[in-house]
Amino acid sequence: MANHRKPVPKSQKEISNNQVEPYVDPETGETRGNPNQPQDYRQFTPNSQKGVPDGRSSKMSFKGDTVKPFTVNIQDVDEAILYYFENVIKPTVIQNGERIAVPLVYGSPERFKSMQKDGFYRDKKGKIMSPLIMFKRDSLEKNRNITTKLDSNNPHLYTSWQKSYNPKNNYSNFSVLNNRVPTKQFIANVIPDYVTITYTFIVQTYYIEQLNKVVEAINYASDSYWGDPERFKFKAKIDTFNTITELNQGQDRVVRSNFTLKIHGYIIPDIIQKDLNSVKKYNDKSKVVFSLETFTSGADFIESTNNPGPLFIDSPSSPTLPPSQISAEMLTYLNTNIQKLGSFTNSTTITFASGWLPAPLGLPATSLSNFTLFCNGVLIENAAISTFTQIGGITTLVILPAELGYSFIASDEVIAIGKFSS
């Protein structure tokens, strides 16, 4: 009997990826694939475009983290308007000797159509709901004059803030003794889409005097930032108020005002495309600083009374010196590391304008092993050096091009670091 496997419904990620058609290069005919699938080696991702394979090092989990990915939705802008009317503007009118708060309601399609058709809004029993403020969202326009993330499949611009606590910074004696720098953790967010959202408002009252008070309160709040101070605030702008007064025979009085509100806001959506292609969380670099240690292969240690660790390693034939025989000249010599920039002589020869610091009695003579050489930032191995000598205060480097793989040119920057005399 065949084993009938129970069908598994597709996840939202699988459904979204199936809706994206692969891009075909018109010149080469190569299929680029779905940009929402960075795990596929054929896809264009930020790392693959730079020649770096995707890895788990750049994908940090939010499991157990109290800070979640940052999002700002269109609904947050709507709620900012509701909050500002209810807690800051607080429009009121005087009716029958009492002060009445003017409610603000969102105009659903049914509500707004009824209000436009009849000129006022009624409750379920047919009673006119007045005073009242109703609003609805008309349009959303993208504002590219501020900034942009350039490409949603490969965002380049981010904002970030540092977390106050990082669980990687566990206290230990090793961290304290070795000057380990605490690791800082940051939450990253893509640059938002800056938008201008337009709303239409209708203010409905019984009398002109009541309407004036409401319009004055709203007009005073224009050109300021609306919203909850503990959440999001957006710049609000109102330009024109249109007043309509109708008193027809056999009908109710209609006193209302229409105005348009423009909110200059921003949106960071909670969508799968952003989660797949943007950085969410990262740690900075930490380091461990060690004290200076100088050594050669197969040698003995010389110890100091102040630092029980190894200071340098002598040759195998030299006996270990007791702490009482370690002089200040030895310590100065061991801590000397001077950098010199070489001068081009020919394709195999570089000269340095300095001699060598002589080694104190009891230490090995200064030689090539006390220097490190670089050409344009790349280490020159000792096997590629023919001679490294000093005569009359001038140090000369001669290389073996066959071993090094190249010869010097006049524009090369050759640097030597070691025990130069000055």
Q: Band of the pLDDT at 208, cuts 50, 70, 90?
A: confident
Segment of 60-74, 109-123, 272-286, 302-316 carrying the highest mean pLDDT:
60-74
* Residue 55 within a domain: no
What pLDDT is stored for residue 232 in this prediction?
A: 87
Lowest model confidence (mean pLDDT) among 94-103, 114-123, 188-197? 114-123
* Residue 49 within a domain: no
Question: 268 with 335, same domain?
Answer: no
Question: 222 with 352, same domain?
Answer: no
Segment of 162-166, 182-186, 385-389 carrying the highest mean pLDDT:
385-389
Secondary structure letter of residue 322 according to DSSP:
P
Question: 217 with 92, same domain?
Answer: yes
Of 402, 413, 326, nearest to 377 by C-alpha is 413
User: Does residue 188 carry a pLDDT above 90?
Assistant: no
Characterize 128-149 residue by residue with b for buried, 16 or more Cβ atoms within 10 angstroms of its Cβ, and e for exposed: bebbbbbbbbeeeeeeeeeebb
pLDDT-above-70 percentage for the chain? 64
In angstroms, rounded to a whole number, what is the distance separating the alpha carbons of residues 402 and 407? Answer: 9
Residue ending a domain, choose from 258, 287, 316: 287
Q: Scanning the structure block, which residue is given the tokens 């073996």?
A: 400
Question: 282 with 332, same domain?
Answer: no
Q: Which amino acid is at 325?
A: Q
What pLDDT is stored for residue 121 in this prediction?
A: 67
C-alpha triplet 178, 179, 182: angle, nearest 5° = 120
What pLDDT is stored for residue 50 in this prediction?
A: 41
* Residue 53 within a domain: no
User: Does residue 335 carry a pLDDT above 60?
Assistant: yes
Question: 345 with 403, same domain?
Answer: yes
Characterize 160-172 residue by residue with b for buried, 16 or more Cβ atoms within 10 angstroms of its Cβ, and e for exposed: eeeeeeeeeeeee
Cβ-count burial of 352 within 10 angstroms (0-12 exposed, 13-18 middle, 19+ buried)?
Answer: buried
In angstroms, rounded to a whole number, what is the distance separating the alpha carbons of residues 352 and 396? Answer: 6
Lowest model confidence (mean pLDDT) among 5-14, 234-243, 400-409? 5-14
Question: 268 with 333, same domain?
Answer: no
Lowest model confidence (mean pLDDT) among 209-213, 291-295, 309-313, 351-355? 309-313
What pLDDT is stored for residue 300 in this prediction?
A: 42
User: Does residue 357 carry a pLDDT above 70?
Assistant: yes
pTM: 0.51
* Residue 115 within a domain: yes
CA dihedral 35, 39, 43, 48 (to 10 degrees): 110
* Residue 389 within a domain: yes
* Residue 159 within a domain: yes
| Domain harbouring 162, CATH code | 3.30.2000
Lowest model confidence (mean pLDDT) among 77-86, 133-142, 305-314, 368-377? 305-314
What pLDDT is stored for residue 259 in this prediction?
A: 93
Round the average pLDDT of the chain to a whole number and report it.
76
Domain containing residue 111 = 60-287
**Residue 131, preceding peptide bond in cis (omega within 30° of 0):** yes
User: Does residue 378 carry a pLDDT above 60?
Assistant: yes
Over residues 56-83, mean pLDDT: 78
Beta bridge partners of 105: 134
* Residue 310 within a domain: no
In angstroms, rounded to a whole number, what is the distance separating the alpha carbons of residues 146 and 194? Answer: 7
In angstroms, rounded to a whole number, what is the distance separating the alpha carbons of residues 199 and 140? Answer: 9
In angstroms, rounded to a whole number, what is the distance separating the alpha carbons of residues 97 and 75? Answer: 37
Question: 152 with 249, same domain?
Answer: yes
| Domain harbouring 332, CATH code | 2.40.10
CA dihedral 36, 40, 45, 48 (to 10 degrees): 180
Higher pLDDT, 405 or 309: 405
Q: Band of the pLDDT at 356, cuts 50, 70, 90?
A: very high
What pLDDT is stored for residue 277 in this prediction?
A: 66
Residue ending a domain, choose from 239, 272, 287: 287
Q: Band of the pLDDT at 198, cuts 50, 70, 90?
A: very high
Question: 121 with 225, same domain?
Answer: yes
Domain count, the chain: 2
In angstroms, rounded to a whole number, what is the distance separating the alpha carbons of residues 415 and 392? Answer: 20
Question: 374 with 228, same domain?
Answer: no
* Residue 392 within a domain: yes
What pLDDT is stored for residue 286 in this prediction?
A: 63
Question: 90 with 196, same domain?
Answer: yes
Q: Which pair of tokens denotes residue 383?
A: 């096997």
Rg (CA), the chain: 38
Classify 46 as helix, strand or coil: helix
Report the residue count for the chain: 422
Question: 132 with 188, same domain?
Answer: yes
Per-residue pLDDT tens for 5-64? 677 777 666 666 666 666 666 777 666 655 555 444 344 444 444 444 444 555 666 676
User: What single string gives the DSSP state of each residue in 270-288?
Assistant: --HHHHHHS--EEE-----
Q: First CA to last CA across the chain, in angstroms?
A: 89
